[in-house]
A and B are shown apart, each in its own frame.
Chain A
Amino acid sequence: MEENKMPLLSVSNVTKIYNEYKALDDVSFNIGAGITALLGNNGAGKTTLINGIVGLIEVNQGTFLLNEMDNAKESKEFRRHLGFLPQECGYYDEFTALQFLRYMGAVKNVPRKKCDEVIEKYMTRLKLWEHRNKKISKYSGGMKHRLGIIQAMLNEPMLLILDEPTTGLDYVERGIFSDMMREYAKEHIVIISTHIFSDVENIAENVLILDAGKLVCNEKFEKGASIIEKYKKYFEG
């Protein structure tokens, strides 16, 4: 039942302070299904916000609710519906890609059979299926990145958060990735943090812009428009 409900993430009054520096300053927003681009200059607080949502860091103030589930109080429930690709993802180099994904499936509590189906689906999609038995240490940077994306999607999460997922992907891969996200975002919330605007211009439905910890822009985005033209003022120093 819950699966069919339209998802809603609401972030309210979040503040995070690092040694007196406000990395996040009273950030609030609501987002539903669809792709949300999270933008901002280096050090704007994107990763901090994402780490707060997924529960990697504790914020000084504020709450994160996913369909009424609080990430602090019902954190296990929350994590069940969560998929996450960190900015710098670590891997067990000695594992083969398949072993790694199955391992992640196990810790995500995905039944083995379903897990294998999902793995095959996404690995085929991202052209990794023929490399499934290769050790991760023999993977190229872009391949590792794609593996990280698949890892995040294994439990088909209601909330998928990708921190700079397209770095290291070539032109063709970016296209495939965009299509995949567009499809996935029909029923799920997808948050993509990136500096490469062209990757999200054609797929993003919402835009969130952070500037020095403050949320300066939260609005619907018209697909196909140019981010840099529209939001130029936020990206110039």
Chain B
Amino acid sequence: MGYELRKCLCNKTVILIILIFFVVNGLEASYKSLYPEKVYDTTTTETYKKLIDEAFENIDEGRDVYLSSIFIDRFYDRQITAFVYDEEQVGYETEEVAFVNYETSAMYGLILVAVIVIISIDLERKTRMTQIISVTEKRNGRIHLAKQLAIAAVVVFINAFLFIENVIVHKLVGEIDYGMKLYNIPGYRATLFNGSILEYKIICAIGVCVIEIIIANIIYILACFLKRNIHLIIGSVCTYVVLKMISDNIAFKNYPYSLFSFFKSKNLVKEFIVVRIGNGYTYYLWIALVFLFVVMLITNVCNYFMNKTRRSI
């Protein structure tokens, strides 16, 4: 079951990518504090805080405000709780949602899973097993199910690791007492959630896991229909973007990414790219991912033309 997945997980490149992900995840965990107040870079924090306060004042007084995307990006560790754009005030998020969003902002696991799914499907095509399998009675029916289960397992596994790493790093660097109630964190005073920080983190992690399983399987299904790697890459990136937009729309009633306003505003698109898809390090990871596929694509195209010339000779 999930043979390609297993093979893929033993692939050197994939192992390297996984390691990079763990390192980046650890770095990011140490850089992002769980406590909004405990940002280590105090000077910038104060400056940002001042700007934010000003922005809030302006909102309160009904004036128009614009916050740049980079600025929001820097403040992604939850000191910003309002999103404000050129002309209109577009949305607020509650403390719980802010926390969930903090937890889900990166979704490294998903990127990793997308890479694994895509590489394993590529591997499968290279084995040319499809020929003999497609003439059997069951065809791919059984295999699909097995693979989807395997993908789910990989998602859970990777997320569990990233989660544990995250918790440990936060504990070491941020000196967090996980037993503390969530409302003890200054930034989350108004929360209605009555459990400890760790409990809330676990709930978030499970939520992330479920979302990622769904997205990964959608990518897998897409991948089965799309025969070319380039379509696969575009398809999976689009899936990710669209689903992220939809989930954000569900999470925030007034969110900037309501589809209509999204396509109306350049800034929203920019912000979406930088903050949502490319949150901090994730941005570079996406670049790396795209780079990887460009390499794959180029090799494929070269192969294609080489085969073609060979045939014509």
Contacts and interface: CB of A to CB of B under 8 A. Distances in A.
Interface stretch (A75-83, A165-173, A188-196, A226-234): A75-83
Contact of A108 (B3, B7, B128, B137): B137
Contact of B136 (A79, A86, A148): A79
A127 to B, nearest CB: 22
A93 B123 CA distance: 11
B184 interface: no
Nearest to A95: B3
A119 to B, nearest CB: 15
A104 interface: yes
A108 B138 contact: yes
Contacts of B6: 94
Contacts of B287: none
A237 interface: no
B172 interface: no
Contact of B132 (A106, A151, A155): A151
B131 A107 contact: no
A201 B305 CA distance: 41
A55 B7 CA distance: 29
A82 B3 CA distance: 24
B135 A55 contact: yes
B131 A89 contact: yes
B137 A94 contact: no
B228 interface: no
Interface string B114-157: 00000000000001111111111111101100000000000000
Given A92-B3, A94-B7, A107-B143, A56 B127 contact: no
Contacts of A2: none
B132 A84 contact: yes
A46 to B, nearest CB: 16
A103 B142 CA distance: 11
Given A86-B131, A91-B127, A92-B127, A107 B139 contact: yes
A104 B132 CA distance: 9
A203 interface: no
Given A92-B3, A94-B7, A107-B142, A84 B135 contact: yes
Nearest to B4: A92
Nearest to A54: B135
Contacts of A104: 132-133, 136
B307 to A, nearest CB: 14
Interface residues of B, number: 19
A92 B132 CA distance: 12
A51 to B, nearest CB: 9
A190 B130 CA distance: 23
Interface string B268-306: 000000000000000000000000000000000000000
A107 B127 contact: no
A54 B131 CA distance: 10
Given A91-B127, A94-B3, A86 B137 contact: no
A82 B7 CA distance: 29
A76 B3 contact: no
Nearest to B128: A90
Contacts of A103: 3
A84 B135 CA distance: 8
A97 B162 CA distance: 36
A109 B133 CA distance: 12
A89 B140 CA distance: 17
Given A106-B142, A107-B143, A93 B135 contact: no
B138 A93 contact: no
Contacts of A152: 132
A221 B56 CA distance: 93
A76 B135 contact: no
A91 B126 CA distance: 10
B127 A93 contact: yes
A79 B135 CA distance: 6
Most buried by A among B133, B136, B139, B143: B136
A59 B151 CA distance: 36
Interface of B: 3, 6-7, 127-140, 142-143
9 contacts: A88-B128, A90-B127, A90-B128, A90-B132, A91-B127, A91-B129, A92-B129, A107-B136, A152-B132
Sorted from nearest, which 4 A-B pairs have the closest CB atoms? A90-B128, A107-B136, A108-B136, A80-B137
Interface of A: 54-56, 76, 79-80, 82, 84-86, 88-95, 103-104, 106-109, 148, 151-152, 155
